[in-house]
Amino acid sequence: LNEIKTHIFIQAVFYIRKMVNWVIRLCTFITSNNY
């Protein structure tokens, strides 16, 4: 059970980091095209 919890936690952290990175890229794209 503990192994499964750890695996889910790692997957969640990876997914959150990916989403944060995507949001940062999107914000950078918007601000760079904001005349």
Where along the chain do its domains lie? 1-27
pLDDT at residue 1 is higher than 90: no
- The pLDDT mean for the chain works out to 93
> What is the pTM for the complete model shown?
0.63
**DSSP conformation letters of 5-20:** HHHHHHHHHHHHHHHH
Question: What is the rounded CA–CA span in Å between residue 30 and residue 23?
Answer: 10
- Phi/psi of residue 33, nearest 5 degrees: -100, 10
The per-residue pLDDT for 35 is 62
CA dihedral sign, ordered 13, 19, 22, 27: negative
pLDDT at residue 2 is higher than 90: no
